[in-house]
Structure 1
Amino acid sequence: MAARPDARPAAHPDSRVDAAATDARTVVLDVRWTLAQPDGSGAYRAGHIPGAVYVDLDTELADHDVVGAGRHPLPSESTLTAAMRRWGLRDGDTVVVVDDLGNQSAARAWWLLRYAGFADVRLLDGALGAWRAAGHPLDTDDVVPEPGDATARYGGMPVLDIDQAAALPGHGVLLDVRAAERYRGEVEPVDPRAGHIPGARSAPTATTLDADGRFLPAEVLRAQYAELGAVPGADVATYCGSGVTGAHAVAALAIAGVDAALFPGSWSQWSNDASRPAATGGEPG
Structure 2
Amino acid sequence: MSFWKSKPGARWAAGEAELHPACVQAFEDALRDGGFGPGVYPAWNAYVNRDVLAIYGDEGWLGFDDVARLYAERASRQREQYPQAYWRKAGNLFHYAVQLGLIAGERGGEHGRGWRLVHREPQWVVDSQGGRSIARQVLGLPPAEQAAEYRRQARQAKLTATLDRKARHAADAEIAALVSAILAGDPDATVPEHWAASNQYRLPCVPEWLPGTRIDVCAPVLREAHHTLDVPRQTVREWLRELRHAARIAPTRYARRQAEKAALPEHADIPAEDAEALGGLL
**TM-score scaled by structure 2?**
0.19
Q: Which has the larger radius of gyration?
A: 2
More helix by percentage: 2
Higher relative contact order (CA 8 A, sep 6+): 1
